[in-house]
Amino acid sequence: MGHTAGDADGGTHEDGWEVSTRTSAPPTRNRAVALAITAFVCLAAAAPRSAAAQTWRTITSARQLHGEREMAVHVQYGAGRFRLSPGTGGELYRMEMRYDEDTFIPVREYDPAVPSVRLGLSSRERSGVHVSLGDRRRDGENPPTLDVALTPDIPLTLTLEMGAVEAVADLGGLALRRVTYRTGASATHVTFSRPNPVECEALTIEAGAAEFRADDIANANCARVTFRGGVGKVSLDFGGSWRRSMTGDVTVGIGSLSLRLPRDVGVEVRLNRFLASFDAAGFEKRGGAYYSGNFNSARYRLVLDVNATFGGVEVAWIN
């Protein structure tokens, strides 16, 4: 039942998801680096096409809820500005995108059997997504955009795959079972502005060469948080409403890692670093791990395995 939206020639496209298939194998740390390299190669290979040679198309698409009880949502976007937010009741999703129709094909595939929905853009060329940097620089005018709103009414398994994207994702209020966020060379801000009403198994983030910031992660209500970063500046804020203890695995290659930890949560940091500094203020070291003063008495605990190669790990305590 899958089909692509708004094809100008009236054809039905069954294009696969090239990036998703390329990145579906889950080897660990190399994946983030591979994402970064992929994004870099995509950008480097970008033909400097003039903006005048592009044909812009705007698509607005929405789907009603028809008795679905849960849904797997997969969003893929190569380059541009991406915004994700909770939608209004009654609509499974609402998507609005502006893109170059000579280069990309919009995808909105709904599979009632799983059930799942795929949204985003697919490249017309099988070789991958080619991004015109010139277009990115025309941000003062109208850059490529993708705005997606998802229903807060049913539990979602959410997978986001971003390329060279400026992304702002507010996942607050969505009922999230599992979240996977993969991004290449991007500037990303993920926030959980409101608590997740259901229990989340895992929040997994893989970032290549990126500036990544996640706020109020506790609102995600996830049992496990995994972050793998290649190169970049990373900020993870574990603020929000704590309703369960959490474990985390944070790996950063080259760059700075800023951890914002709530004072009322017991925190254990198991640090594995190489040529990386660590600000241990507020911790006491016992054995090979760092513990916050209230670790034994706190109602909720956060156990973090931190692997840092080059750079620094900074800790800020928040109330």
Q: What are the residues binding other proteins (CB under 8 A)?
A: 1, 3, 5-6, 8, 10, 55-64, 66-67, 88, 90-92, 96, 101, 106, 108, 110
Q: Tell me, rounded to whole angstroms, the distance of Cα 170 from its chain centroid.
A: 10
Q: Are 93 and 47 in contact (CB under 8 A)?
A: no
| Bridge partners for 281 per DSSP | none
Q: Give the CB-side neighbour count of residue 35, counting CA atoms within 13 A.
A: 34
Instruction: Tell me how far, at minimum, the Cβ of 175 lies from other proteins, in Å.
Output: 18
Instruction: Tell me how far, at minimum, the Cβ of 189 lies from other proteins, in Å.
Output: 15
Q: Tell me, rounded to whole angstroms, the distance of Cα 84 from its chain centroid.
A: 10
> Which CB, 45 or 316, lies closer to other proteins?
45
**Percent helix, strand and coil across the chain, each to the nearest 5:** 10, 55, 35
Q: Are 230 and 35 in contact (CB under 8 A)?
A: yes
Instruction: Tell me how far, at minimum, the Cβ of 58 lies from other proteins, in Å.
Output: 5
Instruction: Tell me how far, at minimum, the Cβ of 6 lies from other proteins, in Å.
Output: 3
**Which two structure tokens, joined as six digits, stand for 193?**
């502005």
> Which CB, 63 or 124, lies closer to other proteins?
63
> Which CB, 107 or 271, lies closer to other proteins?
107
**Which two structure tokens, joined as six digits, stand for 82?**
């991406």
Instruction: Tell me how far, at minimum, the Cβ of 165 lies from other proteins, in Å.
Output: 19
> Which CB, 178 or 189, lies closer to other proteins?
189
Instruction: Tell me how far, at minimum, the Cβ of 14 lies from other proteins, in Å.
Output: 14
> Which CB, 97 or 225, lies closer to other proteins?
97
Torsion sign, CA atoms 22, 24, 25, 31: positive
Interacting residues of 295 by C-beta distance below 8 A, sequence separation 6+: 266, 267, 268, 301
C-alpha distances (whole Å) from 118 to each of 71, 165, 217 are: 10, 18, 25
Instruction: Tell me how far, at minimum, the Cβ of 85 lies from other proteins, in Å.
Output: 9
Q: Where are the beta strands (DSSP E) in 65-199?
A: 71-86, 91-100, 104-111, 116-123, 145-150, 156-170, 176-183, 186-191
> Which CB, 1 or 281, lies closer to other proteins?
1
- The Cα 75–Cα 117 span in angstroms is 8
**Which amino acid does the sequence have at 257?**
L
> Which CB, 28 or 142, lies closer to other proteins?
142
Q: Are 228 and 28 in contact (CB under 8 A)?
A: yes
Instruction: Tell me how far, at minimum, the Cβ of 93 lies from other proteins, in Å.
Output: 9
Closest to 309 in 3D by CA, of 258, 259, 257: 257
> Which CB, 38 or 151, lies closer to other proteins?
151
